[in-house]
Amino acid sequence: MDTSGIIEENHNFAGYLSTLLRRWWLFVLIPVVFVVAIYWLTPKGATSYTATTTLLVNPIPSTNAISSGDVYAAQVLAQSYSQMVSLPDVYARTLDRLRVQGLVPPAKLGIGASVDVNSLLLHVSATTGDASMAAAASNAAASAFLDWLSDLETVSGQSNATTPTSRVVIVAPAELPSATHARIPSLAYPILGGVFGLGLAGVVAFGLDMLVRRIRLPNDIQKATMLPVLAAVPPFNRGRVLDLTSDPDSAASRAVRLLHTRFQFQVNGTGPGVTAVIATAPGDDAARLAANLGVAFAEEGHRVIMVDADASSPRLGAVLGVKRPGSGLAAAISNPTVNLESLLVDGPHPGVRLLLSESPAAGATWLKSDTIINLVRRLKGISDAVILVVPPVASSAEALLWIAAADHALLGVSVGKTRTGELREAAGSVQLAGTPIMGAALLAPGGGIPSLSSRLH
């Protein structure tokens, strides 16, 4: 049965969120780099001062009295003068006047002019980094402009009451500017840089995720291995030992029961036997899956023994909240005649017993196929179902030996964590060991599939 419809609708957001959270550092690093770069590249400039000298353009009457036309002509002339103030010749005369006054012209000196709307006032301004220099330069520029107009009259041979210099006079010399103007970069640029950085971080995060090709949907498992997906399991409740017993109506509990039922159909009613639950990615998802599956078998009246076959990083005891024993798996393997009953620990559910690893240890001395097969055979003799919690084959030397000792295998695939290559390697290793694979269980990340429970029955 195709289970892709179970989670495709609800998993997308959780899967994407899991991808982003896994690479959270990108969302800190890239925006910070963008904001700092934009801040330093944005011109900030030094403090500047602007002083203004005001000139009046007098209207010249065309008849005995000043008419509105005469005023309008003066306004047009003032607009023309505002463009002439910044001419190179006027600028050079301004610098000369400053030198005559014993002042050294600054390297950066801005000279300009403006006219108010419908006004006869011409404002000549100078901008520089020194207040007194700005005032002196503004007055010098106004005087230089009047000199330039005077020379223009001489060249044209016009010197009477209607010539330019007779109608333009300084009415308000510049004074020391009282306000400073600092060029501060707009906050909009760093903000836009941060937003762009966040967007780029998202693209990079998903790009990296696409490169490593992680499993996200049941179809991904089927395309990679052609294995059936027996169930899609939502997140287990981390605050409880077993969802199946403490919260039987949870989405995870219902999914495990569905997995249990489909698993029984896959083994064709031959009984639980020895099942290897194989992790395909680091973490305790497979251990939680195995623990809940073992409880499902126990609820049917089976005597269940769960074995933590991960000697280097045992997880089953921590998942079930059971303390590590003084003697356990290492003693059972090193002594083929030991009384196994004395090494088993009662689980959190009636009918469930555990064979735990004493402590994280290297398993190099355990790599004997016949020893492990003999141990599994003895465990099978005192139980109805044996569940082996097997670590990823890529990170455990003894994983293949445990898989070879099992009657059938179940792959635990973690959404967003298991890579396609890891899944194929696990499936290939199980086939190499000669153990039939019953299928895979898709284990959702935190946040998971909120409406899955409504789809299971």
Amino acid identity of 423?
L
């039987």: which residue's tokens?
Answer: 248
DSSP state of 2: -
Q: How far apart are CA 309 and CA 322, in angstroms?
A: 16
Encoding tokens for residue 428?
A: 């290939």
Give the pLDDT of residue 355. 92
Tell me what pLDDT residue 8 has. Answer: 43
Q: How are beta strands 110-115 and 304-308 bridged, if at all?
A: unpaired
Residue showing tokens 């509105």:
68
Nearest alpha-carbon partner for 356 in 311, 294, 395, 400: 311
The domains of the chain are located at 47-182, 215-456
Q: What is the DSSP letter of 213?
A: T
> What is the model's pLDDT at position 212?
62
Q: What is the pLDDT of residue 447?
A: 36
Rounded Cα–Cα distance for residues 131 and 51 (Å) = 8
- DSSP state letter for 150: H
Class of the 215-456 domain? alpha beta
List of residues 6+ apart from 352 with CB closer than 8 A? 294, 295, 298, 304, 306, 346
Determine the pLDDT at residue 378.
92
In degrees to the nearest 10, what's the CA dihedral of 403, 404, 407, 411? 30
Q: Whose CA is closest to 375, among 347, 339, 422, 415? A: 339
- pTM of the entire structure? 0.57
Position 4 scores a pLDDT of: 40
pLDDT (tens, 9 = 90+) of the chain, 457 residues, equals 343 444 444 445 555 666 667 677 778 888 888 788 877 776 655 678 899 999 999 888 777 778 888 888 888 888 989 999 989 999 999 999 999 999 888 888 889 999 988 889 999 999 988 889 999 999 999 999 999 988 887 766 555 545 554 578 899 999 888 655 555 556 666 777 778 878 887 777 767 666 667 777 888 888 888 899 888 887 766 555 566 777 788 887 888 888 888 988 888 767 788 999 998 887 767 888 888 888 889 988 899 999 998 877 788 888 888 877 777 888 888 888 889 999 999 887 889 999 998 765 544 445 577 888 899 999 999 999 999 998 888 777 788 889 999 999 999 888 878 888 888 888 888 888 889 999 998 887 643 333 333 333 3
Fold of the CATH domain 47-182: Alpha-Beta Plaits (3.30.70)
d(CA 79, CA 184): 31
Cβ proximity of 416 and 12 under 8 Å: no
